[in-house]
Chains A and B, each alone.
Chain A
Amino acid sequence: MNPKRCAACKYLRRRCPKDCIFSPYFPPNDPAKFACIHRIYGAGNVSKMLQQLPEQTRAEAVESLCFEAKCRVDDPVYGCVGIISLLQTQIQNTQNELAKVQAEVAVAQTKLSQNQNSDFM
């Protein structure tokens, strides 16, 4: 048994085995991380998801799950889909602004070349 239980096993109030699937990713000093993930996904689902992944990719998977769980806790209706929507709006606004500035550049370039031509004459 792992003398120092991981945050997951502490939260679940169980023994932390040596091969605990959670222990590499949920250190005991950060209990909130597992609490958030457990609230949204549940320990069983997270365990199944991690087991299906190669070991070298599990850390990244845990981080992305934590991110999504936190987004869902902060915004129970939209979760991280709200962030996606915001970014899409931002992209649209920036594209509109870009089109506007491109038109202004075209006008300014035309004016400049006209002025240069008239000066030359």
Chain B
Amino acid sequence: MSGSGINPSSSGGGGGGGPCGACKFLRRKCVAGCIFAPYFDSEQGAAHFAAVHKVFGASNVSKLLLHVPEHKRPDAVVSICFEAQARLRDPIYGCVSHIVSLQQQVLSLQTELSYLQAHLATLELPQPQPPAVPVSSSGSPLQALSITDLPTISPSVYDLSSIFEPVMSSTWAMQQQPRPSDHLFGLPSSSSIGGGGDLQALAREFIHGGQMPSQPSPGTSGSASTMIKRE
């Protein structure tokens, strides 16, 4: 809006400079100390003031400006002019339509961001084979995610949680899948594994404690990983 009639730095009217844009429009004498003079010059200021006057009215704007600290008045005038012109352009919604449009844009971007962050999370999942797993291990490797499994990025797709949930849950399930208890027995008690007696004690716990996990559980996987680390 700078250079278009709103001139916050110009001095007050009523002097040799002629009436300000507001007083010109109102066809009244521009007195010294006119509240509008610093902000509406005599050339294009009148056009801007016309819009402001039509929507808000001169006395309402005057009251508004009087309630605003002087150093903030230029900004206030600019925002009032913006709202007035928006209201004249769109008499029903004014600048509210602009706000709604921006809100929708924010939502759309945030949805796209969430989608990409979830996509990134699936790409950054740890690799199927942890370094400590022996070569002879018969544990089934994790099914590597394929990029083609994921939908193409499309801004029009909003409900993405249902698309990602099965992928995420299956990957998680595979990660958490415990080694079956007989696999625990299958591990050599000595040889490359230190502390084999502990392993057998753990195996006994599984049998006698009745803890034969068929579902993934963090505790079980923790135990398995502990055993694996000892190798």
Q: Is the CB of A83 within 8 A of B147?
A: no
Q: Is the CB of A91 within 8 A of B102?
A: yes
Q: For the complex, is A116 an interface residue (Cβ under 8 Å from B)?
A: yes
Q: For the complex, is A67 an interface residue (Cβ under 8 Å from B)?
A: yes
Q: For the complex, is B96 an interface residue (Cβ under 8 Å from A)?
A: yes
Closest Cβ of chain B to A16, distance in Å, is 23
Q: A-B pairs with CB below 8 Å: how many?
A: 115
Chain A residues within 8 Å of B55, by CB: 41, 45, 49
Closest residue of A by beta carbon distance from B69: A77
Per-position 1/0 for B73-97, Cβ under 8 A of A:
0011011101100010001111110
Q: Is the CB of B98 within 8 A of A104?
A: no
Q: Is the CB of A105 within 8 A of B123?
A: yes
Q: For the complex, is A90 an interface residue (Cβ under 8 Å from B)?
A: yes
Q: For the complex, is B127 an interface residue (Cβ under 8 Å from A)?
A: yes
For the side of the interface on B, what is the size category? 35 or more
Q: For the complex, is B10 an interface residue (Cβ under 8 Å from A)?
A: no
Q: For the complex, is B56 an interface residue (Cβ under 8 Å from A)?
A: yes
Per-position 1/0 for B101-124, Cβ under 8 A of A:
011011001101100110110011
Q: Is the CB of B92 within 8 A of A60?
A: yes
User: In the bound complex, how far is the Cα of B79 from the Cα of A41, in angstroms?
Assistant: 15
**Stretch with Cβ within 8 A of B (4 or more), from A3-11, A17-25, A93-101:** A93-101
Q: Is the CB of A81 within 8 A of B123?
A: no
User: In the bound complex, how far is the Cα of B95 from the Cα of A64, in angstroms?
Assistant: 8
Closest residue of A by beta carbon distance from B145: A112
Q: Is the CB of A77 within 8 A of B113?
A: no
Q: Quick one: given A49-B91, A52-B91, A109-B147, are A80 and B96 in contact (CB under 8 Å)?
A: yes
Chain B residues within 8 Å of A88, by CB: 102
Q: For the complex, is B57 an interface residue (Cβ under 8 Å from A)?
A: yes
Q: Is the CB of B106 within 8 A of A78?
A: no
User: In the bound complex, how far is the Cα of B55 from the Cα of A42, in angstroms?
Assistant: 9
Q: Quick one: given A78-B76, A78-B79, are A64 and B56 in contact (CB under 8 Å)?
A: no
Chain B residues within 8 Å of A109, by CB: 123, 147
Q: For the complex, is A12 an interface residue (Cβ under 8 Å from B)?
A: no
Closest Cβ of chain B to A11, distance in Å, is 15
Chain B residues within 8 Å of A67, by CB: 96
Q: Quick one: given A72-B64, A98-B113, are A112 and B123 in contact (CB under 8 Å)?
A: yes
Identify which of B57, B95, B120 contacts A108 (C-beta below 8 A). B120
User: In the bound complex, how far is the Cα of B103 from the Cα of A94, in angstroms?
Assistant: 12
Closest residue of B by beta carbon distance from A97: B113
A-B contact pairs, 15 of them (CB 8 A): A45-B54, A45-B56, A64-B96, A67-B96, A68-B83, A76-B67, A77-B76, A81-B79, A81-B83, A82-B79, A87-B103, A105-B119, A105-B123, A108-B123, A112-B123
Q: Which residues of A contact B (CB under 8 A)?
A: 39-42, 44-45, 49, 52-53, 57, 60-61, 64-65, 67-68, 72, 76-84, 87-88, 90-91, 94-95, 97-98, 101-102, 104-105, 108-109, 112-113, 115-116
Q: Which residues of B contact A (CB under 8 A)?
A: 54-57, 59-60, 64, 67-68, 72, 75-76, 78-80, 82-83, 87, 91-96, 98-99, 102-103, 105-106, 109-110, 112-113, 116-117, 119-120, 123-124, 127, 144-145, 147
